[in-house]
Amino acid sequence: MLDSYYLVKLAHILLFVYWLGGDIGVFHSAGYVRDAALSRDARATALKILAWIDMIPRYCLVLTLPVGYTLATKLGVVSVASGMVIGVWLMAFVWLALVYAVHHYQGRPFGQSLRSIDLLWRIGLVLWLIWVGSQGLRGAGHIGAPWLAAKLLVFAFLIFCGIMIRVRGAPLAQALRELLTSGSTPQHESTIKRNFGRTRPFVLLIWAGLVLAAYFGIAKPQFGDSSLMVDSPVVENSVVENPVFTLVKFPSGAPLPPAALAELLRKTSPRYQTVPGLRRKLFLSGPGVGGGWYEWDSRAHAEAFYDDAWRRGMQANYGLVPTIEYFDAPCIVDNDRGVIDYYLQDAGR
């Protein structure tokens, strides 16, 4: 059965792969475009390949923000209404259309106007991401994890590098059009070589930034004083609300031999995969005691599981009814996800 969380996570990873891979392809193709030893037709072909490949990282950049926000809500590391996520997606679709239009109408006055609009939008987005990321690092705003705030700052830096490539390489497009129309001249070649060189550092910085953002997403490092997170906004877990835990214990005799225990677990554990509301079960074993630790999505599901039929079955199979203790968890520190989830219910959120 498909899980939306893993699908979104897969999309997030693929965007990184195609962004970085596409950028490397553009960088490699550019070497043929600026090679004055090649014929005009060969350079024109290389430029067409470059232009086509270059659209992949452009689209990936646009989609990274809505996919990232969707993934963050599923991880529980942002505190936003569902309407904001929908708004981010709508914004992304409009931006995608703008990016396509800029490419489609390039070289025309209308395309230049769209290009200016796109540039202004990117500048505004960089400023907004810097503000949101800075707030998140201070434990304020809607970002509930420092590593995510750092990723947003890196994303702002990536967009800034793209702006600098556009600004510093502005004469390049005109020089290439003239070269392909009227042929090579020393002036054209000098302009092409110089502007490729002016943009190269920012291309390399984008690659480094993508790797850094991926590291933050994998390692989820903490930044600054962790006490800053005490006053951070309450982050609701998108998977479970108000989880309930149960501890089931019963006296046990001598431990089973490893082979017998493995066989028993292989037979009994699969049945718990279909129990309604059960998120996780830990089989427990200690000196003279056995049992299980259960994580439920609600108390109702837990109580429905421990019904009279369950008690009769335990009595018939083991000659006793285990003790059951219920626990609430108002706060869960999840180091695997790098987040803190609060389930304060009516405790003055």
| pLDDT tens digits along 226-249 | 433 433 333 444 444 578 999 999
Are 252 and 211 members of one domain? no
Residue 229 CA to residue 139 CA, distance in Å, equals 5
pLDDT at 320: 84
Residue 290, both tokens:
């056995």
Q: End of a domain among 174, 203, 230? A: 230
Are 175 and 148 members of one domain? yes
Residue 339: inside a domain, yes or no? Answer: no
pLDDT at 347: 43
pLDDT at 232: 37
pLDDT at 226: 43
pLDDT at 349: 38
Q: How many residues does the chain have?
A: 349
pLDDT per position as a tens digit, 299-327: 999 999 999 888 888 887 777 889 999 99
pLDDT at 230: 34
Are 258 and 163 members of one domain? no
Which stretches in the chain have pLDDT values below 50? 225-240, 346-349
Q: How many domains does the chain have?
A: 2
* Residue 315 near residue 301 (C-beta atoms within 8 A): no
pLDDT at 337: 67
Q: Range of 269's domain? A: 244-328
pTM value is 0.66
Q: End of a domain among 185, 202, 230? A: 230
Residue 101, both tokens:
């239009």
Burial class (CB in 10 A: 0-12, 13-18, 19+), 254: exposed
Are 195 and 93 members of one domain? yes
Are 147 and 295 members of one domain? no
Are 213 and 258 members of one domain? no
